[in-house]
Amino acid sequence: MSPQDLFANSVREIINANRELKKSPDSWQSYIGTVRSCVSNIDQSGVMLQNGHLEERLQIIDEVQEFAYFDADNGGIDVLANWCVQEWNRIKESYPDHVTAFEGHGRWWLLNAQQFVAKIAREEGSDEEDAVADRRRGTENYYQARVAFASAVGLFKQSEENARKHNCLTGKLLELKAEACISLGNVSSTRDSRPHFEAALDALRTAERLQGYTLPTHLTQYLREHEYVLR
C-alpha cells in the first residue's frame, strides 16, 4: 500500500468512527484502539510532514481532536490529544500567519479545560460569597483552568490577527474568542476578571457587526445584559 493510500484509509476510518459515535456515544471506548492504530499509520505514511497536503492535515487533526476529547469532562486520551498539539505546532511553525491552525489549537485548549471546569462544578456550590469564591480560585483546578483558557485566548487572538491580515475574519472565530474570555473571567479572581469580560464584549460587538453573521442567542443575551454594566 502506498503512503498516500495508507493515509487516506486511516483518515477514512477515523471519520467513520466519529460518525458512528454521533449515533452511539456509549461505544466510544471500543474505538480507541482503532483510532490509535490509524494515527500510528498516519505517522508512518509521512503525509503529516509534507507541506503540500495542508488541508488534509488540518482535517485529520480536527477529527482526531474531536475523538480524543469525546468525553472532555473526564479529560482527553492523552496520547491522541498530545499528537494533536504536536501537529498544530508543526503547522504553526511552517505557517505562522495561518488562521485555522491557531484557531484549532485554541479549540484544543478549550476542550482541555473542560476536565477542570467539571471538577470545579462537582466540588463547589454556586451561591458562595465573593471572598469565599476567590479563596477557592487559588486551588489547583482553578489554576489549571486559567492556564487552559488563557492559552486558548492567546491563540484565538493570534488567529484573529492573522485573519484580519488576510481579510477573512469570521464571526465564529470571534465567538470562540469571546467564550474563552468569558470562561477565563469566570475562573479568575473578582479583582482580575473584569478585563476578560470586557475583551469578550469587544469580540461579540465586532462579530455582531460582521455582514451575514448572527450571534447565537445565548451570546446575544450575554452582550445585551453586560455591555452597559461593564462600561
Task: Please choose, from the candidates 35, 41, 42, 44, the residue with its C-alpha nearest in 3D space to the C-alpha of residue 14.
Answer: 35
Q: How far apart are CA 86 and CA 76, in angstroms?
A: 15
pTM of the model: 0.92
pLDDT on residue 162: 98
- Below-70 pLDDT ranges, the chain: 125-134, 229-231
54 near 87, Cβ under 8 Å?
Answer: no
55-64: pLDDT as tens digits: 999 999 999 9
pLDDT on residue 81: 97
pLDDT on residue 19: 94
171-199: pLDDT as tens digits: 999 999 999 999 999 999 988 999 999 99
Q: How far apart are CA 172 and CA 72, in angstroms?
A: 21
